[in-house]
Structure formats: structure tokens, C-alpha cells
Amino acid sequence: MAWKAIPQPTMDTLLDKVQFNEQGLICAIAQDENATVLMLAWMNRESLTETLTTGRVCYYSRSRKKLWRKGESSGQEQHLISASLDCDADCLLLTVRQKGVACHTGRRSCFYQSLTPSGIQNLTEPDIRPETLYGEKTPS
């Protein structure tokens, strides 16, 4: 189902409730329709507004210091199904339709390094080779 854009007056009220941190950011957990947690990333006011308007998930890249339209270079886009804030309004939970894989390693989920008594064990193997995802480099 297509995302219903949040209209401007509602958006302003809603954004005023969001507790962005000192850097102007809020963390966002993305899960898919089956409730598999895919990744955690950050949003600023601009990327959250864009996400809630277009339904196409846009984060803020802290390393590149710019908007990060998920999938812009890899094609592995996220389309918003629903979004909710936690009790303190300082974390978002997004339910998304994930095209392909969420992780830059080519895995569906970023959370693949299991902590076990014998050390870190990879839970999954890549579904897609990272080289295929990015041609040469620049993960998205």
C-alpha cells in the first residue's frame, strides 16, 4: 500500500514533538513487514520530513554529512509502510518494504554478527555480492 503523505500543518506539529539530539538527529530502526530488524540509521529534520512526505526512506549520513536516500546508489530502496515514535520521542521505528537487501555487505539485515560463548559468528551469508551492489564503491 502506498504511503499517505503527512500534510504540512500536521507535519509541523509532529516534528515539534520529535526530540532531536544535540546534533539535530534522531535514530531510526527499520524493520520489514515480517518484523525482521534490518538496520539502524539516523535522520535529521529534513530527512524525516522527506521520508514522511514521499514515503521513500531518506536518512542522514553522519559520515558523509548529507541526506542519504536509501538505495540511491545500490538500488536497494526502502518504502515506508508505517512509522512510530517511542515514549520519549527520541527514537523512530519504521516498517518498510525493503527492495533486496538492507546491508551494504549484501545481507538482508545488518544484524548478522551473533555474540556467542565462542566469539562472533555470522548468522547469514550475503544474498548479493557487494561488488554487484555498488559497482566499485560508495555504499548506500
* Residues placed in the known binding site for Mg(2+): 86, 88, 90
User: At its nearest, how many Å lie between its own copies and the CB of residue 121?
Assistant: 9
Q: Do the beta carbons of residue 98 and residue 78 sit within 8 Å?
A: yes
- Annotated binding residues for Zn(2+): 87, 103, 110
Q: Do the beta carbons of residue 20 and residue 27 sit within 8 Å?
A: no
Beta carbon nearer to its own copies, 1 or 115:
115
Q: Give the type of residue at 96.
A: V
58-61/37-44 β-pairing = unpaired
Residues contributing to the site for its own copies (CB under 8 A): 4-7, 10, 13-14, 17, 27, 29, 31, 34-37, 39-40, 52, 82-89, 91, 93, 103-105, 107, 110-120, 123
